[in-house]
Amino acid sequence: MSQLNITDEILSAFLDAELTETEMQQVREQLLIDDGLAERLADLAMVDEIIANQYQEINHQPIPSAVSELLAEDKQQAVESKQTNIVQLSKWQKMHKSVQQHVAMAASVALVAGFSVASLLSTNASFDNEQQWAQITNMLEQKASGESDILANGDMFKPKLSFKNQAGQFCRHYEMTSEIQASQNIACRMAGEWQLTASFFQAKQDENQYQTATSNSQVRNYIEQSAVGDFLDSQAERAAIAAQWSK
């Protein structure tokens, strides 16, 4: 049996249970041993939530059926295990937590008071200094969605998806995470430079959890209202990166 080349398209089909049983099993096996692949699956699950036609409250948002079935299978295996020692958190459970965290963060953002699109277009005031923004723009230019990187100050950068806006400009949705807060951000390439157009913040409550905001659809609505056409798939995004995001 030939090894399946697991692309974003394959992972999306896996989430929708559109693969053959043999292919589903191959993806399951790779997810169990590849943490990076599991994280990418979590990112794609978040994107599925963003482009859903109907938005629900965060506590009522279902995890994709393929993931739920695998979690149930993992739970059953744990029950049947003869080991009596404490079992470490499985990769599937970690992925489940990751999916919930990504969906929660995307669904529970709040636009910072006093910020407007106009002010964000004219200044990058939300960043500490020009050097930090220069690092972010360099990552926006080169990093594919799902590829995280660390800034000099220790903050983590992770692009989520790419699209074109109504003006025909490339835009990217990316996440920034620090010790005290996380933010979902939109930047668009205007006149050959990346410009921040919106930021949505969450305060960190403890080591691993972020505060749920009352307004849970602002970032989704912003992307839906800004994007024209389909989001860029991995192939189109690689082509855009190679072309330095020129039209």
Six-digit token string for 7: 């692309």
Domain boundary among 76, 91, 107: 107
At CA 105, angle to CA 70 and CA 240, rounded to 5? 90
72 and 115, same domain (yes or no): no
pTM: 0.51
Parent domain of 33: 8-107
Rounded to whole angstroms, the Cα distance separating 148 from 231 reads 19
Domain annotation covers residue 230: yes
122 and 230, same domain (yes or no): yes
Domain boundary among 72, 107, 142: 107
87 and 200, same domain (yes or no): no
Q: Write down the H helix ranges in 82-178.
A: 91-107, 117-122, 130-142
Closest CA to 42 of 88, 2, 94: 94
Place of tokens 């992307």: 223
Q: What is the pLDDT along the chain (247 residues), one digit of tens a residue?
A: 567 888 888 888 887 778 887 888 888 888 877 877 877 777 777 665 555 543 444 344 455 566 566 666 655 555 554 443 444 444 445 554 554 444 444 333 333 322 333 333 333 434 456 788 999 999 999 999 999 999 998 999 999 999 999 999 999 999 988 888 788 889 999 989 999 988 887 765 555 554 434 333 577 888 888 899 889 999 999 999 999 998 6
Place of tokens 């905001």: 213
Domain boundary among 107, 140, 161: 107
